[in-house]
Amino acid sequence: MRTTRTVPVLALVTLGSLFLTSHSAVADRPAPTRERAAPDERAARTPVSAALRALAEDAPALDRTVRGYPREQILTPDPENPADKSLKLGLTPYHAIAPELNALQRLGDRVSVEIAGRSAGGHRLYLVTVTAPETDRQARAQERMRELIENAPSAAAKSPEIEKSYKTPVFFNNNIHGNEWEGTDASLKLIERLATANDARTKDLLARNRLYFNITANPDGRIAGTRANANGFDLNRDFVTASQPEARAMRQIMLDKQPAVMLDLHGYVNGTLIEPTTPPHGENYEYDLFLKNTYANALGMEAAVNGLGYTPQKDGVQPAQIPFRDQEEGWDDWPPIFTPQYAAFHGTVAAHTVEIPMRVNNTAYDTLPESELRRRSAINTDVAGAALRATLDFVQERRTSLIADQIEVFRRGTVGAAQVPVSSETVPGVPGIGPEDVYTTTFPRAYVIPGGTTAAARLVDHLIANDVRVTRATHPFRLGGRTYPKGSYVVDLRQPKRGMANVLLADGRDISDKVSVMYDISGWSLGRLWGATVDAVPSGSLSGLPLRPVEAAASVGHVAPRGDLRLRLTDPSEVAALNYLLEKGISVRQAPDGSAIVPGSARAQAAVAARTYDVVFDATRIGGGRELRRVRVAAAVTPGELFALREMNFEVTPVSTAVLNAGFDWSSADVLFVSAGLDHDGLNSAARTALDAFLAEHGLVGRGAVGAALNSAVGLLAAKPVEGNGDANGVVRLVDSGGRADHGFVYAPVWFTDLGPGVRVEQSYATGNPLLSGHWRPGEDGSGGPADAAGQAAVVSGPRAVLFGTEPLFRDHPKGEFAQVAGALFTMAHAHSG
């Protein structure tokens, strides 16, 4: 299941060591984006045929590299794996997919296979294209039209070539949750039928459309029978951050193929659940276009699924449901972390999560007879196939209007048109539209991101990787009443994918009063959480500003040419660089302000670190300070936290209650970090004695209720944890010990009261309403809401422990907060080192 602004740097000094908040992780430097077409304004003044020719001239690389279809290749089979969890269900194991795809390519000239990337566990990701054959010239023409649709939508809307010849891109994404298997098998069956069918309708379908199948988005989980990939990540929560290779591969498919329609096949909800969803609806995309298409396709899928003839009495299968029509709330499409909601920002005007009905995973997998599991999987495969086929019927019937609506999405962004609120007039044929369905936003004229920092470079690269257009100032300029230096980045919101830009950079909205429950997170602002300064400019003209488009952020890595070197530790990339140097045996001292002092004799190694992590080593004359050493972390944490710690180059050993009970060698650790999976009461006598002995000599970093509970059990820090509403999440306003404003992220927030002697408040929740964006209500008894948290301690420290009530490493996302944890780990590891 699919279960104007400045962010200040916060430097907290405690016990003479650094305890920090910061900006960024290791910069993800994407390859340069594809060549862009002429601006829409130019194309709109140009005859359509001339605009197409100009576009071809602007993208000469495409003429050299775009190949026709089929694009066949022989795949090397994977070794047979009898432990593949698919086998028990009678489904296709991962090792059988490559041979099957080889066989499908041999059936004719309609099926092509490409490798879209590799999973976290190293498995190939297979993208299958099914379409009528195309020559190289025809494929280049399709690419030029696709580019025109995005980059010159006013011209594309008038193009007879596009109306007559453009093939609608349709994307079927399967098995993103590894233990929701059957979409893969339904797609393989459909591909086989399309490869060989000679009826007129199939021929027409493939002549007028391209069908893209991501055969299994999560092969690691498919093999292991887990929801998550090999890194422990739920990939259907990763699209804002794109921390995982599978998410980046899916993102690239959406950018390159620009699907107008997509299905994301999941399980298991009985009856089959078919989006569109309940409110609240994402406020940054063109929901009038999205709703009319998703509802129409949902009705077709519902009819197809129910038409299979399965019944509750005979088969245990309930009738299909459409949340928009059948539910009040609880299955929203608010955050862009889900595949269909993310796809909408790349021009997909009909995007669905489909939850097939019969549970075969988790407890059912382990307890039901194999015969029953196979019966259920066969039904699920049938249901998924019906949804796929119905979608193809929908595409055939509405091909022209689907492409027109995609063009309109991009046109509105390019010209800065207002959004169209949904109503019975703007979205005819969709029943039950009410004021609860109306979510729109006011787009700023632009965002400005001052350059020159690691955090800014990482954020700009991330925007570009998401196909957001960014320019950079060649001279100082004035905008929105402020003067910005040369090198500042400007994100003009008059661009085709303005929704993508705004959903990433905007603060978001507090929607606590709109609905009682949300499906997942409700706040995610990169502008507040990724450590860069990001200013929203509400209005003004960008005409005449000294701006040039960029395809990658300018590197900021630098090493002073002489003297000792100072490395600030307010950014996770800086922490990673420090840990790199410590691993290399470089002698590093800690300055009174918490920064790292590297001897000038290590300039060559510092230069490598500067290039690798894009960080700055300034010259310094600061003397003295304590010697730093590499920190070894024993971590009972979530997969996202483990991933973030390793991004910062900490030496991490995962632990848990079970690991400690089995006998853990504490000599391999300098500090313990706990947020999940470690229960003091669940430890046996020997494990508890060993843990207590370790904590008598070493420090604890705790996060959330689990970390606070361990602290209470061992009595390190006198602080009473108070748990807020467990459903609450979002971006919160914080205040540091010096009174400076900051922002953080919470998920089931915690705060601390009854603080004992020696306990220092490092951060507090802001007074008033600390929630900037997200969903945070009091619990049913009226407690646990943001009013209770206001002004209370969010992060506390003492000589033996640091406790977080916030989520500074949540799903590897709030990059600007990572260094808080790094500072706490260094503090606790070095405070007891003598």
What are the catalytic residues? Answer: 355
Residues in a beta bridge with 793: 752, 764
CA atoms in the 13 A half-sphere facing the CB of 163: 9
As a whole number of angstroms, the distance between CA 523 and CA 506 comes to: 10
651-654 vs 632-636, strand pairing mode: parallel
* Count of all residues that appear for the chain in the document: 834
What gap in Å lies between CA 775 and CA 517, rounded to an integer?
8
Name the strand (E) or helix (H) holding 729.
strand 729-736
Q: Rounded to whole angstroms, how far apart are CA atoms 608 and 604? A: 7
Of 62, 38, 28, the residue nearest 496 (C-alpha): 38
> Of the candidates 398, 488, 511, which has an alpha carbon nearest to the alpha carbon of residue 774?
511
Amino acid at 659: V
User: Residue 732 and residue 528: Cα distance in Å, rounded?
Assistant: 9
For residues 642 and 232, give the distance between their C-alpha atoms in angstroms, rounded to a whole number.
9
12 SS3 class: strand
Query: In the structure encoding, which two tokens stand for residue 633, read together?
Result: 């972390």
Compute and round to an integer the Cα radius of gyration of the chain. Answer: 27
Which phi and psi angles does 396 have, rounded to 5°?
-60, -40
CA 495 – CA 151 distance, rounded (Å)? 8
597 sits in which H/E element: strand 596-598
Phi, psi torsion values for 627, nearest 5 degrees: -70, 130
Question: Could you give the CA distance from residue 276 to residue 60 in angstroms, rounded to a whole number?
Answer: 40
208-226: buried (b, 16+ CB within 10 Å) or exposed (e) per residue? bbbbbbbbbbbbbbbbbbb
CA distance 101 to 112: 9
Tokens representing residue 395 in the block: 């595409």
Strands (E), 268-360: 273-274, 278-281, 332-333, 350-356
Within 10 A of 325 (CB to CB), how many other CB atoms are there?
16
How far is it, in rounded angstroms, from Cα 806 to Cα 526? 17
Return the SS3 of 213: strand
642's enclosing H/E stretch is helix 639-647
At 816, list the tokens: 């600007």
Q: 205 phi and psi, to 5 degrees?
A: -55, -50
d(CA 683, CA 175): 37
Of the candidates 825, 812, 486, which has an alpha carbon nearest to the alpha carbon of residue 631? 825
Given a contact cutoff of 8 angstroms between Cβ atoms, the answer to whether 264 and 315 are in contact is no
Residue pair 373/360 in contact (Cβ under 8 Å)? The answer is yes
Residue with structure tokens 């606590």?
Answer: 512
How far is residue 258's CA from residue 255's CA, in Å, rounded to a whole number? 5
Q: Which residue has the tokens 């696709």?
A: 146
User: Would you say the C-alpha torsion 387, 177, 273, 404 has a positive or negative sign?
Assistant: negative
Contact between residue 809 and residue 543 where contact means Cβ atoms under 8 Å apart: no
Is residue 207 within a helix (H) or strand (E), and if so which, with residue range?
helix 200-208
Query: Which is nearest to 628 in space by CA: 660, 669, 590, 673?
Result: 590
- How far does Cα 703 stand from its chain's mean position? 22
